[in-house]
Amino acid sequence: MTANPIFRGAATALITPLTASGVDYDRFGKLIDWQIAQGIDALVIAGTTGEGSTLTDEEHRAVLKYAVERAAGRTPIIAGTGSNDTDYAISLTKFACDIGADAMLVVTPYYNKATQKGLIQMYTAIADASTKPLILYNVPSRTGVGIEPATYAALADHPMIAAIKEANGNISKIMETAALVGDKLDIYSGNDDQVTPILSAGGAGVISVLSNLMPRQTSEMCHRWFDGDIAGSLKMQLDYLPLINALFCEVNPIPVKAAMAAMGWCENYLRLPLTPMEPEHAEKLYALMRAHGLI
């Protein structure tokens, strides 16, 4: 873990409450306040879970600005600024820096993909344009391209590249990355079912979908580990595993939107190509939520 991590513990990959008319800022603001009151360690705005890919450019910038202003320094705000268009990613990153975001989450380029050489050049260009630290986001199941451990090592010395959100699902590769980058980059789990395995490799926490529903508990799972309660942290990981699996039984953020709607935080409204959760899956999710006292 680096000496000065962007955050330590759990960051919520926050949903964006939407209606047919646009962003529901009233609910969005109340959700930000609740997450902070629950002790969340950071918030990620307009990432995958926040449906950043179907927000208009105007909406994307507006939700970032609103979240920074609403949080008012109470917790770090990490702006989703990745794109498969590097110039656009640079533009969003500069904007997020200017409005006071604390860090950027920058996903690998989807659809047009890239070679490892292309990834190095892209991330270097975005980092060169940024005045705030970047978290590189590796989720090859969604983007079609993965960041190799040697590529992380090649980027690790850039002063604005600070961390990794690793969602490749391959613990062996994550261990290889940890061995190569040492304390130059923090590693955050990008999968809620792999928090404790990545913490065991020296990880700094998780960027979480589960913490939309359970911010206090997800943070506690990490901080128990940091405090030496390994068994307690692992028990939480295993106890929440059925709920975590239910939150990913359809493509994210379909299930978490259904869950947050059931808790009253938003309408169960998604923009195409996303569609509401299938009823039989939703019933299983709601049953697990009831078992944890969430609804």
Q: How many CA atoms lie within 13 A of 244 on its CB side?
A: 18
Structure token pair of residue 159: 């002063």
Between CA 272 and CA 174 the distance in angstroms is 33
* Residues pairing with 135 in the sheet: 105, 163
Place of tokens 């994307």: 60
Task: Assess whether 117 carries a catalytic annotation.
Answer: no
Between CA 20 and CA 253 the distance in angstroms is 17
Identity of the amino acid at 16: T
Active-site choice (65, 132, 137, 257): 137
- Residue 80 vs residues 60, 65, 76, 193: alpha-carbon distances, Å: 9, 12, 13, 22
Identity of the amino acid at 292: H
DSSP summary character for residue 109: P
* Residues pairing with 78 in the sheet: 44, 103
Place of tokens 């939150």: 247
**Burial grade of 268 (CB within 10 A; 0-12, 13-18, 19 or more):** middle
Task: Assess whether 30 carries a catalytic annotation.
Answer: no
**What residues have CB less than 8 Å from 127, skipping those under 6 apart?**
134, 155, 158, 159, 160, 161
Active-site choice (65, 132, 165, 257): 165
Place of tokens 């078992």: 291
Structure token pair of residue 127: 């980092």
Catalytic residue ranges: 137, 165
